[in-house]
A and B are shown apart, each in its own frame.
Chain A
Amino acid sequence: MIARVIQTGWRHAWTQWHMAILLYGINLLAALIPALAFHSAVSSLSSFPAVQELLAGFHYTTFADTLRIYGKEVLGIMPVLPWLMLAYLLFNTFLAGGIISSFCNMEIEFSGKVFFSAAAEYFIRFLRLLLLWSVAVIVVGGVALAGIAAAWYAVFEAAHSETTVAIATLCAAAVLLVIVFFLIAIADYARIYIVANDEHRVRRTLLASAKFVMKNLVGVFVILLIPLVIFVIAIAAYLMKTDWIGMSSIWTVLMVLIVQQVLTALRMWLHIFVYASETALFMDEMPEGLHM
């Protein structure tokens, strides 16, 4: 069943490639603001050859001195980042309605008008969902984190070996990942539920979504695990590739920029793929009347 769902998700995600491009474009535009601000802020350092030498490769003393002495310029974008992230999150909450609506109504041909009117239709409900979900994340995540930390610390205190602590750390990370997956899945399926059933009762939807996730745990987790694995592999490849390319001239910097953007676009497509697969799973499990 899960294979069929993933196949459907894959097919639908390719069909709706426009959405990946849209998400990528928004992501690029949003990130360009701090990146260009950073470049502008540090341009006063361009007459220092020591800073130029960083182009050839990492040099700790230069890097550390630059951050220490010109940190205000270099890290000037940091206070703005959380606000940009919030704006980005809100905008993507807006877009989510369009994305899910497209996957729920594959028979309707994609158009900007259809997409954005769906996005506008579900925005307020998704926003309420986001707020409620955030509270749930703080409560559930906080309790879970405290529990995991306490367990890890108990192992740490009693351990006679570094290996024990390393295994405990990996286990804690795995448990944390499962909880994070669980919370993300609840939010995703709640959104799908709202669109599929045109549901207005957000709190009820969250509870229903939690029930759905519990019932379809394996399928839900497999769908979320696929992009994570691909992302980890892609980032590892990127780090190795950029190391090999070197970024030591303006041309190699350009090459790395292209690789980076391909990777980012891939991530955006994976995001679309997850929504497509989740919608497919939801439709598969809830064919009649779509009630949970």
Chain B
Amino acid sequence: MTKRFCLSSLCVPLWTLAAFSAFFSIPGITTAEALSPRNANYTIAVTLDVEKKMLHGIETLVWINTTGDVVRELQFHLYLNAFKNTHSTFIRESGGRLRGDVMTGDGWGWIDVTSMSSQGVKNLRLEFIHPDDDNADDRTVTRVALPVPVPPGQSITIQITFTAQLPKVFARSGYHNDFFLVGQWFPKIGVYETGKGWNCHQYHANSEFFADYGVYDVRITTPERFVVGATGALLEEKKNTDGTKTVTCRAEDVHDFAWTAYPDYVDLKEQWKHVGIRLLLQPEHRGQADRHFHAARAALAYFEKHVGQYPYSTLTIVDPAYGASGAEGMEYPTFITAGTNRFFGTWLRMAEMVVVHEFGHQYFYGMLGSNEFEHPWMDEGINQYMETRIMDETYGAGTSALSALGFTIGDLEFTRAMYVAMRNPKIASLTTAAWKFPGTSYSSLAYGKTAIVLTTLERIIGRAAMDSVLKVYYNRWRFKHPAPEDFVAVVKDVAPRFSEAASPEFLNRFFEQALFGTDVCDYELASIDVKRMEPLKGIIEKNGMEVVAADTAGGKQDGLCTSTVRVSRLGEVQLPVSVLVRFEDGEAAHETWDGLARVMEFRYQRPSRVVWACVDPEEKLVMDVNRINNARSAEAEGGALWKYAVKVLFWVQQLFHWSLLAA
């Protein structure tokens, strides 16, 4: 078994090399610098029927078998069939509701492959499959048996014609009046994994996507009045004689392609180093253009500094039309959708937060192409962690999300609340596949918990170590499909070089408990007990004789205090913590504890008593679910309570007075 494993390990790089050679010999899709394996390459011509909200497409797919297996069938995603009827897995799981948006009864969408041919055989037979559940009515994955298998290193060309009915915008994709956001719209091949076969999941309510890299040459035909934006670079815009226009786009080293068409966009452009930023804004949001650009520039610069360079030359930011909120906040390669409201001033940085988050996906999803179906924490979670860093460092920690009428919330605080406010934070592990998270726990855990756990890790091992982890992870795995163990391996490789805290034992326990386990972290400053030492009394031995203690030692220990500070670990997660103890005379003691035991006591005999103590005073353990119990005073103070009692008094007075309207 071991031998066999070693052989296949050797084979993969060889076959990959062979595949690259084959790829470079295919005319029309080669460029000098291929950043990715480019094994799924599409040429698509699509026409948008704006009246019927339909797409008519002709697709040519060149797929290269970069694996060591002989591939006998192909599997395709037909994502738009998720919106075909109430029996689809997507609608069954979501109940027609997603991210606050509700699907309307007249907004169905579907995709129909009208023909598929390859290897000289026309009309290949498609068979719908449902690899994730027992829903035979789901039509989002299809397979086609090949007349001739594809050997390792060889390519296959498939010609497909399709017609698609766009849904009313509900979950990411669709139309609203004249606004079109066209995502997950074409028959898209799955990912073949050596020894495992096709990884081609159904479209689920809680899940995003997974695909191979390639080159997309796409020609989009729309009525002339429409402004078109798309993944990659717009090479040409040609007017046709029938009142339409055709926009030609090309995107290299990407694993998806999305586009938008809308007549009323305000089309704005800015340059940031090698990146042309295009902002397609709603006219009523024109006043927020600078905020969008600023957030995009901040995110580009931050990622370049802390992770790696953005290699593409374009970034398109789309602001969906009013009524199409379902299309907001979504990432596609080099193409993201934002979301704002004209009444949101800088007191609510929604626009910035969405731009920063979706841009971050260019890395954690785009270039680091993890499997979003199976490991959502690797894209959403790591990206959420980056979002908190960028937002708090750019717009102010504690105020980066909201700052209005004295109420302030920072992005990290908001993210932490997603996780700690869960009724049951132990409900699922981050190893859970996206669609298997129970209830609403998907976002709280995949986004919130991951970000908070990584922030905790960063504060334990240090920012320099974490940045190095991110850089190595990016350089090692960009344009590949990293798995969870690949990220963990990078941390274990890199972090110990920077920090003594990052011992193998610590990292193993950390990942097992904090990231992949369901355990919670809660350290408590349980108590402060102070006892003034009494003078020694009674009979003691002195010089071989028994004497009355009060006669000899009386008063010597007067004024000494014994203070006991007790720290408890209420949660299961074991992390090293520090404890800060303050004494009445202003002195302080700094203690450390490995955090393994359930209870730890620190005792002091000093003239001055302990007045205050705090576990984790540097607030490293952001994942601690209760920060209130981290510190304790020896004596109660009521200042803040009076403040809030006064507030309660006032507002209850006003409330009572309103009742007088009826009296």
Give the interface of A toward B (CB within 8 A). 27-28, 30-32, 34-36, 38-39, 42-43, 45-55, 57-62, 64-66, 68-70, 77, 81, 84-85, 88-89, 92-93, 95-96, 126, 130, 133-134, 137, 159-163, 166, 180, 184, 187, 239, 243, 247, 249-250, 253, 256-257, 260, 264, 267-268, 271
Contact = CB atoms under 8 A, between A and B. Distances in A.
| Residue in B284, B416, B628, B638 whose Cβ sees the most chain A Cβ within 10 Å | B628
B176 to A, nearest CB: 9
A264 B643 contact: no
A34 B655 CA distance: 12
A92 B635 CA distance: 43
Given A43-B636, A60-B413, A253-B646, A160 B641 contact: no
A65 B626 contact: yes
A35 B652 contact: yes
Contacts of A85: 655-656, 659
27 contacts: A28-B653, A31-B652, A36-B645, A39-B642, A45-B628, A45-B641, A46-B637, A47-B634, A47-B637, A48-B633, A55-B640, A61-B417, A62-B627, A65-B420, A69-B629, A77-B648, A88-B656, A93-B663, A160-B177, A184-B661, A184-B662, A253-B646, A257-B646, A260-B653, A264-B653, A267-B654, A271-B657
A267 B406 CA distance: 24
**Chain B interface residue bracket vs A:** 35 or more
B334 interface: no
- Name A's interface SS: helix
Contacts of A81: 652, 655
Contacts of A163: 284, 342
Contacts of B410: 60
A172 B548 CA distance: 89
Nearest to B651: A31
Nearest to B642: A253
B362 to A, nearest CB: 28
Contacts of B632: 47-49
Given A85-B656, A260-B650, A54 B322 contact: no
A19 B646 CA distance: 25
Contact of B343 (A54, A159, A166): A166
B284 A61 contact: no
A92 B284 contact: no
B627 A68 contact: no
A215 B74 CA distance: 80
A54 B630 contact: no
Contacts of B644: 38, 42, 54
Given A31-B649, A48-B631, A55 B420 contact: no
A187 B646 contact: no
A85 B645 CA distance: 18
Contacts of B421: 64, 68
Nearest to B646: A257
Given A161-B322, A256-B646, A257-B646, A88 B659 contact: yes
Nearest to A180: B661
B323 interface: yes
Interface of B: 177, 284, 321-323, 341-343, 398, 405-410, 413-414, 416-417, 420-421, 612, 614, 626-646, 648-650, 652-657, 659-663
B409 A35 contact: no
Contacts of A61: 413, 416-417, 627
A32 B649 CA distance: 6
A55 B641 CA distance: 8
B662 to A, nearest CB: 6
A184 B663 CA distance: 9
Nearest to B631: A49
A48 B628 contact: yes
A39 B322 contact: no
Nearest to A64: B417
B329 to A, nearest CB: 17
B646 A260 contact: yes
Contacts of A60: 398, 407-410, 413-414, 417
B640 A51 contact: yes
B660 A54 contact: no
B636 A130 contact: no
A42 B322 CA distance: 45
Given A54-B640, A162-B343, A253-B643, A49 B660 contact: no
A166 B343 CA distance: 9
Contact of A58 (B408, B627, B629, B663): B408
Nearest to B660: A92
A239 to B, nearest CB: 7
